[in-house]
A and B are shown apart, each in its own frame.
Chain A
Amino acid sequence: MRPDSVATSQLTYRYAANSALRFPDWSVPAGQSWAVLGPSGSGKTTLIQLLAGLRTPTTGTVCIAGTGLRELTERQRDRFRGRQLGIVFQTFHLLPALTVLDNLLLAPYLAHLPQEPRRARELLRRLGLAGLERRYPHALSQGQAQRVALARALMNRPAVILADEPTSALDDAACEGMLGLLVDEAAACEASLVVATHDRRVQRHLAHTLELQP
């Protein structure tokens, strides 16, 4: 039995001077896909960052794939993040100086994992990006750039894919396409999927929902 991909308990986070954001106790068994829904300001981004170890909880714990993030030093957390998490943002941020292929290979490089150009090409092919390996990000369409960012998040075979508002900038058709890819690729990597969004369109693609209250 694999440990839960995500488990939180008693989780709160307080921005200086604001009242604390409280998150429900929550666990995501390996392989499940979840939508984290809530209006703007309800703490979705904050939760994703807590799960990613980018912020340290004010109270409570976060466990990813059986590892408590609090037990790790900052450096260990950085490496853990690189190896166990694939993160996708609203703006699909690629490094402009690197080609598509190098953007993908950056993930294993920075996580000190073996670089597998064949896997990178395979992912690009699956995401309909074959032939763009040598392109630079500025020469990609918005949709292509999004898919490259997704491919990069998948490179290290993460345990969990975290996506923050991956669709809010997209029209309905693109939204459908992107969510389909997220779900399919997460399944292909046997990764759990957490999509945080205020966009209700995502709900029917994802099996489970966590509602955050404002």
Chain B
Amino acid sequence: MSLLRMLRANLRHDALTAGLNMLLLVLGMATITVLLLLGHQIEQRLHRDAQNIDLVVGAPGSPLQLILSSIFHLDIPTGNIPLEDARWVDQHPMVEASIPLALGDSYRGFRIVGTEPSYIGHYGGNLARGALWDDAHGAVLGAEAARRTGMDLGDPFHGVHGITSAQAGAGLVHADHEYRVSGVLEPTGTVLDRLILVSVESVWLVHDIDDHWSRTGAAREADGVDDRYLTALLVRYRTPLAAAMLPRAVDARDALQAASPAYETARLLQLAGIGMGTLQLFGWLFITMAALGFFATLYNALRTRRHDLAIMRTLGASRRRITALLLLEGVFMSGTAAILGLLLGHGITELLGQFIPQARQMHISGALLLPQEALMVAMALLLGLLAALVPAWHAYRTDIATVLQRRGD
């Protein structure tokens, strides 16, 4: 006989009632855990992807859409910007550096991004094997893109026009421009992992625009019409002052729009946060109901268990020990449920990360612990304790002689 054995035996004895109460708590805990894990990882991903990008310049439209499409590669772009304007931005005195992005095509659901090697450097990408592109046919695969397409060095492929699966499904294949995998990146845990990176020129070539984009802004012959374009520029400021001035200067140009990743990300998280908050409310509702259920159960059990407790007193248990036992029962029940709830929450999150495409793209995993979880367990234990408090107090006050006498007559 031991304390744990006794607690377990009592739990098992009224397993149905205890189970139902615990189920509510398990569900509540699991709901909140899933939301916490998702929220945390999504936020972390967003912040990591948007890190060190002060401003995104693209075509006019929804700023949120611009951020989504050019940083997180989630939405469709707002449009394209003329190369002239892009160069203006790049050479603006307040701009420390800019990374060009030319979007529009995809391969088997992975976006093909025309850019420069500095884009890979920005996310700390390293080549696992192979090399960067050195012509308009080379392509570097992000780790996830390589894994999921099954392509490796030297494999040829053709881009498809369009970047959402619906677009690309109906879109035409750029059959006359062949890419070859020239390199594969190590995983970075950023958006880079699920991209296919090529040179900007190659994107123009694919779309029958042949010329040369020069980051240094070398003189450009002014004969003929320049129909080269970019989709967006990721900009880093040279000076903090730029935050106040550059966006306005950019917006003043007809073809351009500036969007702040920090601001839009915060807005996005706030929007998502409202949804998360509502769902969390359900979690807490479950937990509150569970707590009430615990209380009702323990309180009712007290009536039927008064004789049991009296017998334990005649066997030498002190008043305090009986009281402690009842409190521990509440804590044990809620603690067990809390742990089960956390496990379930992590399991569900892991499954979401494995089987929901969007979550998989985000690298959602159930295998991480958040400090808030300790807090949740503590809350659950406290709830159990509170639910047991009144029954335990009643037990403490019970006069066992009277209890035993009623039965004995």
Name which residue of chain B comes closest to A49, CB basis.
B401
Q: Scan residues 24-51 of chain A and give those whose CB is less than 8 A from a CB of chain B.
A: 45, 49
**When A45-B405, A105-B1 are in contact, do A82 and B13 touch as well, CB less than 8 Å?**
no
Q: Kindly identify which residue among B1, B307, B308, B315 contacts A82, using a CB–CB cutoff of 8 Å.
A: B315
Are B13 and A96 closer than 8 Å at their CB atoms? Answer: yes
Please encode chain A, from 97 to 135, with 1 for each CB lying within 8 Å of some chain B CB and 0 for all others: 110001001111111100100000000000000000000
List of B residues within 8 angstroms of A108 by Cβ: 1
Question: Which interface residue of B2, B13, B311, B314 has the most chain A CB atoms within 10 A?
Answer: B314
Name which residue of chain B comes closest to A99, CB basis.
B9
Are B316 and A79 closer than 8 Å at their CB atoms? Answer: yes
Question: Which interface residue of B1, B312, B405 has the most chain A CB atoms within 10 A?
Answer: B1
Q: Kindly identify which residue among B307, B313, B316 contacts A83, using a CB–CB cutoff of 8 Å.
A: B316
Name which residue of chain B comes closest to A73, CB basis.
B318
Are A102 and B407 closer than 8 Å at their CB atoms? Answer: no
List of B residues within 8 angstroms of A152 by Cβ: 315
B409 within 8 A of A: yes
Q: Kindly identify which residue among B13, B308, B401, B408 contacts A90, using a CB–CB cutoff of 8 Å.
A: B408
- Least distance between B220 CB and chain A CB atoms (Å): 87
Q: Kindly identify which residue among A85, A87, A89, A102 contacts B1, using a CB–CB cutoff of 8 Å.
A: A102
**When A54-B400, A89-B404 are in contact, do A102 and B320 touch as well, CB less than 8 Å?**
no
Are A89 and B2 closer than 8 Å at their CB atoms? Answer: no
Are A106 and B409 closer than 8 Å at their CB atoms? Answer: no
List of A residues within 8 angstroms of B401 by Cβ: 49, 54-55
Are B314 and A97 closer than 8 Å at their CB atoms? Answer: no
Are B9 and A75 closer than 8 Å at their CB atoms? Answer: no
List of B residues within 8 angstroms of A97 by Cβ: 6, 9-10, 12-13
Are A74 and B319 closer than 8 Å at their CB atoms? Answer: yes
**When A45-B408, A54-B400, A105-B1 are in contact, do A74 and B308 touch as well, CB less than 8 Å?**
no
A147 within 8 A of B: no
B317 within 8 A of A: yes
List of B residues within 8 angstroms of A208 by Cβ: none
B5 within 8 A of A: yes
In angstroms, Cα B5 to Cα A109, docked, is: 11
List of B residues within 8 angstroms of A93 by Cβ: 307-308, 311, 407
Are B407 and A74 closer than 8 Å at their CB atoms? Answer: no
Please encode chain B, from 10 to 43, with 1 for each CB lying within 8 Å of some chain A CB and 0 for all others: 1011000000000000000000000000000000
Are A165 and B408 closer than 8 Å at their CB atoms? Answer: yes
Are B308 and A75 closer than 8 Å at their CB atoms? Answer: no
- Least distance between B194 CB and chain A CB atoms (Å): 55
A206 within 8 A of B: no
- Least distance between A195 CB and chain B CB atoms (Å): 13
**When A89-B404, A102-B5, A164-B408 are in contact, do A111 and B13 touch as well, CB less than 8 Å?**
no
Are B316 and A82 closer than 8 Å at their CB atoms? Answer: yes
Please encode chain B, from 95 to 113, with 1 for each CB lying within 8 Å of some chain A CB and 0 for all others: 0000000000000000000
List of B residues within 8 angstroms of A96 by Cβ: 13, 308
In angstroms, Cα B321 to Cα A79, docked, is: 11
Are A106 and B1 closer than 8 Å at their CB atoms? Answer: yes
In angstroms, Cα B129 to Cα A62, docked, is: 91
In angstroms, Cα B261 to Cα A19, docked, is: 87
Question: Which interface residue of B5, B317, B320 has the most chain A CB atoms within 10 A?
Answer: B317
A22 within 8 A of B: no
Name which residue of chain B comes closest to A149, CB basis.
B311
A176 within 8 A of B: no
In angstroms, Cα B319 to Cα A87, docked, is: 18
Name which residue of chain B comes closest to A95, CB basis.
B308
- Least distance between B308 CB and chain A CB atoms (Å): 5
Return 6 A-B CB contacts under 8 Å, by A number. Answer: A54-B404, A81-B314, A81-B316, A93-B307, A106-B1, A107-B315
A54-B313, A93-B307, A106-B6 provided; 8 other pairs, C-beta below 8 A? A49-B405, A55-B401, A74-B319, A78-B316, A89-B404, A91-B407, A97-B6, A102-B1
